[in-house]
Amino acid sequence: MRIGELSRRTGVSIPTIKFYVREGLLPAGELTSPNQASYGETHEQRLRLIRALLDVGGLSVAAVREVILAIDDPDRSVHKLLGTVASGLVPRYDREPNAGMEDARKQVAALIAARGWRVQPGNPASEALAVALAAVDEAGHGSFAGVLEAYADAAERVARADLGWVAHNLAREELVESVVVGTVIGDAIFSALRRMAQTDTSDRMYGQAT
């Protein structure tokens, strides 16, 4: 199909499609004449993935590029890809090491040990957790760490569902893409469900029917 048709089907404007091609997010169309390129199903599919990562996942264009490179790399095993996704999609904070961070890292290490999780210390997700715990503590709400056990239980439940879903997607390309989609959009889905469940719980504890 021509670029105009691709734009109509996906709701992405022609200049934006061209921008994605220039930025390396989307492969160029096949040239059918010096001025005209033809796009196929794979372009359409990839374009929807890009939009989902940008709009729902809230990723930057640079982060989307990294993810796409990982998807397209045939040498990346599923477990390694998961690692790339975990590192690439965890927000990084520039924080100077301080006493709070040291305590938070110890707290995280203790949690990993208690759970028997096979997670390296200093892994980006562990660092992100330490940063969040240090921030809660600095804001004067260190007691929030009391929910960690319940959160970790819930995270295990979610991760089992995530991996179980991934295991059902047999073709490698789909499998790899599904890890990324599940990781990024899964956060948005869980966050929405958590707020809904909070509203329900709050209503039962404090409210009348809203």
Q: Which of residues 78-107 bind its own copies (CB under 8 A)?
A: 78-79, 82-83, 86, 89-91, 93, 96
Cα 36 to Cα 123: distance, rounded to the nearest angstrom: 46
* DSSP 8-state assignment for residue 208: S
Least distance in angstroms from the C-beta of 178 to its own copies = 6
19 near its own copies (CB under 8 A) = no
Q: Which is nearer to its own copies, 38 or 123 (CB)?
A: 123
Q: Which is nearer to its own copies, 31 or 161 (CB)?
A: 161
Cα 15 to Cα 19: distance, rounded to the nearest angstrom: 6
Judged by CB under 8 A, the stretch of 19-27, 28-36, 61-69, 123-131 that binds its own copies is 123-131
Q: Restricting to residues 124-183, which ones interact with its own copies according to CB under 8 A?
A: 124-126, 128-129, 131-133, 135-136, 138-141, 143-144, 146-148, 150-165, 167-169, 177-178, 181-183
User: By the 8 A CB rule, do 89 and 67 touch?
Assistant: yes
For residue 38, the surrounding DSSP H or E stretch is strand 36-38
User: By the 8 A CB rule, do 90 and 129 touch?
Assistant: no
Number of residues that bind its own copies (CB under 8 A): 95
- Map residue 1 onto helix, strand or coil: coil
- Map residue 90 onto helix, strand or coil: coil
What's the N-to-C CA distance of the chain in angstroms? 50
13 near its own copies (CB under 8 A) = no
Least distance in angstroms from the C-beta of 122 to its own copies = 12
Cα 121 to Cα 110: distance, rounded to the nearest angstrom: 10
Binding mask 43-82 for its own copies (x = CB under 8 A): --x--xx-xx--xx-x------------------xxx--x
